[in-house]
Structure 1
Amino acid sequence: MVPKLLIGGRIAQGIGAAMLSPAALSVVTKTFVGEERNKALGIWSALGGGGSAIGVLLGGVLTAWAGWQWVFYINLPIGVVVLIALSRMLPAELPVADRGRLDVPGAVLVTAGTGAAIYALINAGDWGWVSVATLSTLAGAVVLYAAFAVVQRVVRSPLMDLRILARRPVASGTFMILVATALMIAVFFLGSFYLQHYRGYGALRTGLLFLPVAVATIVGAQSAGRAIGHQGARRIALVGLAVAAAGTGLPALANGPVAVVVGMSVAAAGIGAAFVASSTTALAQVTHEEAGLASGLLSTFHEFGAAIGVAVVSSIAAASIAGSDGSGFSRAFTFTAITAAASAALAAFVVPAGKPANHAGVPIH
């Protein structure tokens, strides 16, 4: 009964987060323009990335002092306080026109495609990366995504206007946030398993070791938010991903908890900067009416990146997670470093050059 209740609760949390995240980002995009938007997106990225690391820290403290159940109990009073604060602070908006019925076929297809892709990646370590089971499941995911794209072109009220992804800024921004989120979740996942399961550290000690990671994420995002208006998103993305590659490369080359914590902290600073570059690139030039759609796309790729990050590194490090051999962690950190380095090289070509506009411009195709 407890596992079913736990899974059900997590599903409910996921549904709430899926509604809250794009709404929050849309508020930021609609409220600020120009350089103020860049700074606001820096704060948004710092709170998002830093909040994830702080969650690991607080989770360790609560688990050690009050029990793991309090990881869930604590959300209730926090949620009530935030709800009251938002009802007083958020500006009232005029109701929007009816946009038609919910695109149920599109929602089913994209959910099934994502589920199939994640299922294949999670089991690739057991099935084999080039096995028939893995490749056929991934092929099924591609077919489902293709069917989703077809449905979006023919239904009256599509779940997603895919034409916005044809714009270079939106496409490159969503790509970067997928990579940055995958890197962040991979680092957190590997770090927590390495410290707790391989090194045998308690929940409190592991949580405290994530404090510098949280600080580094906030510093990286805040610094990028202030610098992006002068340096441009391409340079911030390239530097951020390169720093992330260097950070994740450290625990791949040097064994020990110090190398892991230092490496995670360095990587977190670069990932925080990459978050700012991705959100600024994708959102800086969308119109006011498109802010909600663009924010929803960013949030979707953010969640997809998180799922991919966990699925891939858990498959690579499966032997080390289950046993006492630490070589799987080294391989997983090596893969993460290579991914970050390759993404930095790709960002140099796909991210538009130039500085973000200092006004709310029209979309560029």
Structure 2
Amino acid sequence: MVLATLLTCQLMIILDATVMNVALPRIQADLHFSATSLSWVINIYTLVFGGLLLLGGRAGDLFGRRRLFIGGLTLFTIASLAGGFADSATWLLAARVAQGLGAAAAGPSTLALLTTTFTEPRARLRALALFSGMASAGFAVGLILGGLLTEWFSWRSVLFINVPFGIAAVAFAARYVREPERNRGNLDLPGAVTATGGIAAVVYGFIRAASNGWGDSWTLVALFAGIGLLGAFIAIEVRTEQPLLPLRLFADRNRAAAYVNFCLGPMAGMSMFFFLSQYLQDVHGYGALATGFAFLPMAVLVFTMSRLIPRLLPRFGPKPVALTGTVLMAGGLALLTRLSVDSGYFPLLFVPMVLMGLGMGLAFSPLNVIIMSTVPPKDAGAAGGVLQTMQQVGATLGLAILVTIFGTATRNAPGSPHQVLVHGMTSAFFASVVIAALAFAVALTFRKVAR
């Protein structure tokens, strides 16, 4: 029951990052968003969620992970209900901010509670692999679920669907989840302010760069301010006795490499969800439902591979598993650079879906295990917060970079509108292959461990 409750929360949080994408055109029509402001339906959630994850993780360590988990999940559920009734753009954006606050409180505590509940190594390995599979498959499942709900009901059902699952998860958590031993101490407020402000500024800078370009003055101000605040945050963490981010988390080489790849992996992989959903709808005329189901092979394979990780990881170790997954993922992205206006689903979309499903399942699922399996219980919340921060910032950062490359490639490209669109997408996929190659280089640094 504890595992089901924690996995339900994780799926809700991850789904909310993608489930809204398919519903955006209908949200724009109903609530009269402008073309430029519509992206904030997605980005405002990412900004709040990514900016507050470190604070949420450390607050759970100090004030009680069960308390933060239930409180965050309750806020997320109420905000989803309020957002479903939105009758204006401002109302919906305010609800998305509240969702981000709830997700930032519940997310790190979810992973920390899983780590401290399952203490037997084999059981913990299975639980962490399932958690990772739920996280990776959730991106694709969000597109499928968003297509189903939008097509059959309305965009409001994309938010309402969180309510029954949220109520059930809160009820089961209150009954079955135990509160781990709490660490006494004070919250690192200077670290919290600089970390939250720095991450939020960097994320905002890249979001703005995607729409306004790298020469925009506010983009540059946000990025430089974010870098400065993050530099101040590191200086504070070195000196404080009870840091928000214990730098000892990066002392283990495998854990440090896993954190880096948790940033690079979503950077490369998010391009597939974002650009292919547009390719299928704009070039081939797929509906919302058909677009969601086009990603089904990848979602199934990611979850299937996560079930195999408890057998593969003890036998082969993290290095061969992560290297194999990264190569498969890079191969899938490389095939997508061959897309044209006339490419059909079989084979030039289906084969990359299969390779990406296998690759993401192998490349990402071990990272949760590598990071969380050896973390001291007192640092579990902070470690989970860093992990999810890297994932969230990596996805946002990668998408902003790739959208900028897409815009540059399409600005003066010749041909029909569809040919220009596909040219921009293949240019972005080339950049994704480069990012996947960097992830491969980082995976080479994993040291061998005893079986």
**TM-score tier after normalising by the smaller chain length:** 0.7 to 0.9
Number of the residue aligned with 1:339: 435
**TM-score normalised by length of structure 1:** 0.87
Query: For each residue in 1:146-199, what CA deviation from the matched residue of structure 2 results, as whole angstroms up to 9, or x when unmatched?
Result: 111122234454322223223323211211211223233332112222222343
Which of 1, 4, 11 in structure 1 is aligned with 2:97?
11
RMSD: 2.6
Is 1:63 the equivalent of 2:159?
no
Residue 127 (structure 1) shift: 6.2
3-state SS of 2:285 partner: coil
Is 1:52 the equivalent of 2:139?
yes
Query: For each residue in 1:55-109, what CA deviation from the matched residue of structure 2 results, as whole angstroms up to 9, or x when unmatched?
Result: 210110110110111101111111112222333332x235524322x33332232
Query: For each residue in 1:234-267, what CA deviation from the matched residue of structure 2 results, as whole angstroms up to 9, or x when unmatched?
Result: 1111111111101111111233352234313321
Number of the residue aligned with 1:329: 425
Amino acid at match of 2:353: M
Which of 60, 73, 98 in structure 1 is aligned with 2:160?
73
Task: State the number of aligned residues.
Answer: 353
Number of the residue aligned with 2:312: 227
Amino acid at match of 1:16: G
Identity of aligned residues (%): 31
Q: For the structure 1 residues 355 and 294, does the alpha-carbon distance in structure 2 shift closer, same or farther, using more than 3 Å as the test? A: farther
Using the alignment, how far apart are the partners of 2:115 and 2:337 within structure 1? 38
Task: Indicate if the aligned counterparts of 2:410 and 2:423 stay in contact, CA closer than 8 A.
Answer: no
Using the alignment, how far apart are the partners of 1:134 and 1:214 within structure 2? 35
Number of the residue aligned with 1:215: 300
Task: Indicate if the aligned counterparts of 2:329 and 2:436 stay in contact, CA closer than 8 A.
Answer: yes
Which of 331, 345, 353 in structure 1 is aligned with 2:448?
353
Using the alignment, how far apart are the partners of 1:226 and 1:129 within structure 2? 46
Which of 271, 276, 300 in structure 1 is aligned with 2:389?
300
Is 1:41 the equivalent of 2:140?
no
Which of 80, 104, 107 in structure 2 is aligned with 1:21?
107
Residue 271 (structure 1) shift: 1.2
Using the alignment, how far apart are the partners of 1:315 and 1:230 within structure 2? 42
3-state SS of 1:317 partner: helix
Q: Which structure would you say has the larger RCO, counting Cα contacts within 8 Å and 6 or more residues apart?
A: 1
Amino acid at match of 1:217: V
Task: Indicate if the aligned counterparts of 1:118 and 1:311 stay in contact, CA closer than 8 A.
Answer: no
Residue 131 (structure 1) shift: 8.6
Using the alignment, how far apart are the partners of 1:286 and 1:148 within structure 2? 22
Q: For the structure 1 residues 32 and 189, does the alpha-carbon distance in structure 2 shift closer, same or farther, using more than 3 Å as the test? A: farther
Using the alignment, how far apart are the partners of 1:108 and 1:193 within structure 2? 37
Task: Indicate if the aligned counterparts of 2:265 and 2:439 stay in contact, CA closer than 8 A.
Answer: no
Gaps of 5+ in 1: 357-365
Amino acid at match of 1:193: Q
Residue 132 (structure 1) shift: 8.2
Is 1:143 the equivalent of 2:228?
yes
Structure 1, 231-240 or 190-199: larger mean CA deviation: 190-199
Residue 42 (structure 1) shift: 1.4
Which of 269, 289, 309 in structure 1 is aligned with 2:378?
289
Is 1:240 the equivalent of 2:362?
no
Query: For each residue in 1:112-137, what CA deviation from the matched residue of structure 2 results, as whole angstroms up to 9, or x when unmatched?
Result: 32233233333445666689876665
Number of the residue aligned with 2:184: 98
Amino acid at match of 2:441: A
Which of 120, 135, 142 in structure 1 is aligned with 2:205?
120
Q: Which runs of structure 2 are paired with 1:135-214 in the superposition (5 Å)?
A: 137-155=222-240, 157-214=242-299
**TM-score normalised by length of structure 2:** 0.71
Number of the residue aligned with 2:358: 269
